[in-house]
Amino acid sequence: MVTASGAWYFLHANHTAPAPSNAAAPAEATRLSMVVLAFANLSNDDPSQDYFADGITENPTTDLSRIRNSFVIARNTAFTFKGKNTDAREIGKELGVRNVLEGLVQRDQNRVRINAQLIDAKSGAHFWADRFEEDVADLFKVQDQVVARLANTLGHELVKAEAETSARSKKPDAIDLTMHGLALVWQAAQAPTKDTLDAALALFEQALKIDPNDADALAGDADTYMMEYALGWTNSETDYDAKIVGQTDRAIALAPNTVRAYLVKSFYLTISGRAKQGLGVADAGLVINPNFPGLYATRGAAETAIARFEQAKIDVQQAMRLSPRDPGFGFWHMQLGLAEQGLGHFDAAIEEYHKSIDMGFRTYIPYAGLAAIFALEGQMEKAKSALAEARRLNPNLTIKWLNEGSLQIPSLLEGLRKAGLEEQ
């Protein structure tokens, strides 16, 4: 539910590194280290568009440098390679980085197209590539949108790559363990299972034994408990307020720019019946990073809980625009389904619930939504089948359980009663 996901888990350190020409490259490049090379302008008929390509290059450098514990070569050094046909492995060796990002920008009258690829500076292999295309209505708005999408996608890819390296480490430190834990949280966000969550929790708690003041490990640990609570896999012996609110508050106190902590706290407050507080926490996080997709999705959940369904849709759709490859997309489709159901748009809600399930987000929520709609439409066989699956996925599911959280949409509760869900 993280995805509530997004990728800027380690966001709060701003480490843009210059690379003096007389400095010796480190023996081994540090993790999350990279250089963003100047994107090539393919608009040959308009060389003045170089400034647009340069802006597309410069802004990701700034955004990526915010990833906690990252090492990003400064723009001035990166631009010394502009127009040169230098092998990525040579650049990596000279600058002491693990990753090289390069790309192409092409703009015509109505569209701008950007191709980007991330290269392993050690092997020269491409391990990620993507294409972004937008209408050119407001050039600077397009630039901001493309940069945000590029940076969010890269954040996922970089941390995923580092997590794979960390998993092979014989002596992982707190950062290694936290990155590995985050990769499992993202996996759980796409296709939730208790085993995956338990494995992530073990990694975060191991990291906290090494460094009890690691803000990212605290936020990650809280995230696993939040997902456990949200999915109905609760343990009566766990104090969820302490594990989630307590740990996220501590993470924020240690590192105020830890946006993941805001996301986790906001969503937990919302699903535990404190949606207005959750909305305020999401807004506070968005002040720190207005391009963090998960916070828009989390704010959308709070908006749904207080019956502001149209605004909820706007927020979730903004998350989708900012991170179109996000692990949380299935969760976001589920959120859109709840908002559409709240508006009485049952056909649209059914479509969104099916998208959520098809993308791997097979939790009780989309099935409960489908059960309610089918019951209200008189399709009782379908309703009972969907309800049975919802109860299998969440044995705690009752009307009382729903009323204690955020899923108090009148048509949802009415439909579930009609489908046969017990009151308590």
The pLDDT mean for the chain works out to 82
**pLDDT surpassing 70 at residue 195:** yes
Residues 23 and 143 in one domain: yes
Question: Can you give the pLDDT at residue 2?
Answer: 45
Least confident of 134-143, 197-206, 264-273: 134-143
Residues 27 and 106 in one domain: yes
Of residues 26 and 364, the one with the higher pLDDT is 364
Residues 146 and 173 in one domain: no
**pLDDT surpassing 90 at residue 82:** no
Is 277 inside a domain boundary?
no
Out of 152, 180, 199, a domain closes at 152
Question: Can you give the pLDDT at residue 26?
Answer: 44
Is 283 inside a domain boundary?
no
Is 59 inside a domain boundary?
yes
Say how many residues make up the chain. 424
Where residue 21 falls among pLDDT bands split at 50, 70, 90?
very low
Task: Give the tokens for residue 274.
Answer: 């404190």
Percent residues over pLDDT 70 in the chain:
78
Is 348 inside a domain boundary?
no
Of residues 72 and 374, the one with the higher pLDDT is 374
Where residue 145 falls among pLDDT bands split at 50, 70, 90?
low
Question: Can you give the pLDDT at residue 162?
Answer: 59
**pLDDT surpassing 60 at residue 167:** no
Out of 120, 152, 184, a domain closes at 152
Q: What is the CATH number of the domain that holds 196?
A: 1.25.40
**pLDDT surpassing 70 at residue 345:** yes
Question: pLDDT tens for residues 261-300?
Answer: 999 999 999 999 899 999 999 999 999 888 888 899 999 9
Of residues 286 and 14, the one with the higher pLDDT is 286
Domain that holds residue 125: 16-152
Q: What is the CATH number of the domain that holds 30?
A: 3.40.50.10610
| Mean pLDDT of all residues in 109-118 | 79
Question: pLDDT tens for residues 168-187?
Answer: 655 678 888 888 888 888 88
| Mean pLDDT of all residues in 64-91 | 79
Question: Can you give the pLDDT at residue 17?
Answer: 47
**pLDDT surpassing 70 at residue 249:** yes
CB atoms within 10 A of CB 354: 14
Residues 39 and 141 in one domain: yes
Where residue 159 falls among pLDDT bands split at 50, 70, 90?
low
Highest mean pLDDT among 100-104, 109-113, 147-151: 100-104
Task: Give the tokens for residue 193.
Answer: 């299972």
Question: pLDDT tens for residues 360-397?
Answer: 889 999 999 999 999 999 999 999 999 999 999 998 89
Residues 76 and 188 in one domain: no
Distance CA 154, CA 147 (A): 10
Residues 60 and 147 in one domain: yes
Residues 183 and 148 in one domain: no
| Mean pLDDT of all residues in 141-159 | 65
**pLDDT surpassing 60 at residue 18:** no
Of residues 424 and 127, the one with the higher pLDDT is 424
Tally of structural domains, the chain = 2
Is 102 inside a domain boundary?
yes
Residues 77 and 183 in one domain: no
Question: Can you give the pLDDT at residue 295?
Answer: 92
Residues 40 and 120 in one domain: yes
Residues 196 and 129 in one domain: no
Q: Which residues contact 364 (CB under 8 A, 6 or more apart)?
A: 231, 232, 389, 390, 391, 393, 394, 397
Is 54 inside a domain boundary?
yes
Out of 235, 254, 273, a domain closes at 254
Residues 145 and 25 in one domain: yes
User: What is the gyration radius of the CA atoms in the chain, in angstroms?
Assistant: 23
Alpha-carbon distances of 303 from 184, 223, 296, 297, 367, rounded to whole Å: 28, 21, 10, 10, 21
Alpha-carbon distances of 83 from 3, 17, 38, rounded to whole Å: 38, 22, 8
**pLDDT surpassing 80 at residue 134:** no
Question: Can you give the pLDDT at residue 28?
Answer: 58
Is 21 inside a domain boundary?
yes
Q: H helices within 211-292, ranges in order?
A: 215-230, 240, 247-254, 259-271, 275-288
Where residue 156 falls among pLDDT bands split at 50, 70, 90?
low
Question: Can you give the pLDDT at residue 144?
Answer: 64
Residues 42 and 115 in one domain: yes
Question: Can you give the pLDDT at residue 182?
Answer: 86
Is 121 inside a domain boundary?
yes
**pLDDT surpassing 90 at residue 48:** no
Alpha-carbon distances of 110 from 106, 118, 136, rounded to whole Å: 11, 27, 5
Question: Can you give the pLDDT at residue 4?
Answer: 40
| Mean pLDDT of all residues in 247-259 | 93
Least confident of 118-122, 246-250, 377-381: 118-122
